Amino acid sequence: MRFKRHMELEHGLKQIEITPLIDMVFQLLIFFLLTSNFIIQPGIKVNLPRAATSEVVQHQNIELVISGENVIYFGGKVITTVELKALLNQAAKEKEAILIKSDKRASLGRVVEVWDMCRDLGVDQINIATNQE
């Protein structure tokens, strides 16, 4: 007879209440949407050229980025030629290496201009960033 009571309780519950489950899923969705907006990838998007003979540089460099629009960036901010010269003078005094990250679409003239500026101001080591094939 006891078994009959338990069966009556089980048959009384015809469906599962899914409203709290749906509420929880929406709250998780909103949480992940809001938190994903606050994650910002720093830096400038640059498509590096490919090179078969590239090597991995192990030491710390001063990174200059030349975008596809021929704009020079340092530390994520646009710099002028005067600021670039001051930065390169400081790098030459401290014997630091320069790494030029140039977009594929950047003009070769702009890259050579920055390269020559580095050489004129006495920077000993200048590297150009590439992707390995």
The per-residue pLDDT for range 96-133, each reduced to its tens digit, is: 888 888 888 888 889 899 999 989 998 888 888 877 66
The residue-averaged pLDDT of 7-26 equals 76
**Residue-range definition of the domain harbouring residue 62:** 50-132
Decide if 111 is inside a domain.
yes
Asked which of 32-41, 42-51, 78-87 is least confident by mean pLDDT, the reply is 42-51
User: For the domain that residue 85 is a member of, what is the CATH number?
Assistant: 3.30.420.270
Same domain, 61 and 116: yes
Instruction: Indicate whether 20 and 75 sit together in one domain.
Output: no
3 state SS of 12: helix
Residue 122 and residue 59 share a domain = yes
CA atoms within 13 A on the CB side of 69: 5
Q: Residue 25: pLDDT above 90?
A: yes
Cα–Cα separations (whole angstroms), residue 46 to 13, 64, 67, 111, 129: 60, 11, 6, 14, 10
Q: Where are the alpha helices (DSSP H) in the chain?
A: 2-12, 19-37, 81-93, 108-120
**Whether residue 103 is found in the same domain as residue 67:** yes
The residue type of 67 is S
86-96 residues labelled b (16+ CB within 10 A) or e (exposed) = ebbeebbeeeb
The verdict on residue 43 lying in a domain is no
Residues 32 and 65 in one domain: no
